[in-house]
Amino acid sequence: MAEEHYLELSENPVQFEHASSVNNVFFDEANKQVFAVRSGGATGVVVKGPDDKSSVAFRMDDKGEVKCIKFSIGNKILAVQRTSKSVDFINFIPDYPHTEFSQECKTKNANILGFCWTNWNEIVFITDQGIEFYQVFPDKRSLKLLKSQSINVNWYQYCPETAVILLSTTVQGNILQPFAFRNGTMCKMSKFEIELPVVPKPAKLSLSERDIAMATMYGQLYVMYLKHHSRTANSPSAEVVLYHLSREGSCKKSHVLKLNTTGKFALNIVDNLVVVHHQSSQTSLIFDIKLKEPDCALNIHQPVLPARSIHPYRIPLSGPAVVPSQPPVPCQLYSSSWSVFQPDIIISASEGYLWYLQVKLPPTVNLLQDKGKLMDFLLRRRECKMVILSVCSQILEVGEKGSLPVVATVFDKLNQVYKDYLEAEQSYTQAMESGPSRGSAAQKRPVRTQAVIDQSDMYTHVLSSFTERKGVSHKFIIAVLMEYIRSLNQFQITVQHYLYELVIKTLVQHNLFYMLHQFLQYHVLSDSKPLACLLLSLESTYPPAHQLSLDMLKRLSTANDEIIEVLLSKQQVLGALRFIRSVGGHDNASARKFLDAARQTGDQMLFYTVFRSFQQRNQRLRGSPAFNPGEHCEEHVAHFKQLFGEQALMKPSTV
* 267 Cβ contact list (under 8 Å, min separation 6): 213, 215, 224, 226, 240, 274, 275, 276, 277, 340, 342
Which range among 212-226, 418-432, 609-623, 639-653 shows the weakest confidence by mean pLDDT? Answer: 639-653
The answer to whether residue 98 scores a pLDDT higher than 70 is: yes
Query: Does residue 373 share a domain with residue 253?
Result: no
Fill in the DSSP letter of residue 608.
H
Statement: residue 200 has pLDDT above 70: no
The answer on 569 and 599 residing in a single domain is yes
In this prediction, residues 105-123 reach a mean pLDDT of: 91
101 with 143, same domain: the answer is: yes
Same domain membership, residue 182 and residue 58: yes
Q: What is the pLDDT of residue 321?
A: 46
Nearest by Cα to 47 from 39, 57, 38: 57
Q: Report the domain count for the chain.
A: 4
- Is 202 among the domain residues? no
Does the structure show a pLDDT above 80 at 434?
no
Instruction: Indicate if 27 and 2 belong to the same structural domain.
Output: no
Q: Is 273 a domain residue?
A: yes
Domain that holds residue 381: 368-430+448-495
Same domain, 454 and 583: no
Nearest to 7, CA basis, from 450, 388, 356, 390: 356
Q: Specify whether 78 is located in the same domain as 34.
A: yes
- Report the predicted TM-score, pTM, of the whole model to 2 decimal places: 0.79
pLDDT in tens, 349-372: 778 888 899 999 999 988 888 888
Q: How confident is the model at residue 144, as a pLDDT?
A: 92
In a domain, 203, yes or no: no
Q: Are 128 and 135 in contact (CB under 8 A)?
A: no
Q: Are residues 166 and 289 in the same domain?
A: no
Tens digits of per-residue pLDDT, 470-479?
877 888 888 8
- C-alpha to C-alpha distance for 75 and 54, rounded to whole angstroms: 7
Q: Are residues 246 and 212 in the same domain?
A: yes
| Same-domain pairing of 54 and 102 | yes
| Structural domain includes residue 512 | no
Do 613 and 490 lie in a common domain? no
Count helices and strands (H / E) in the chain. 16, 32
Q: Based on the domain organization, do 185 and 76 belong to the same domain?
A: yes
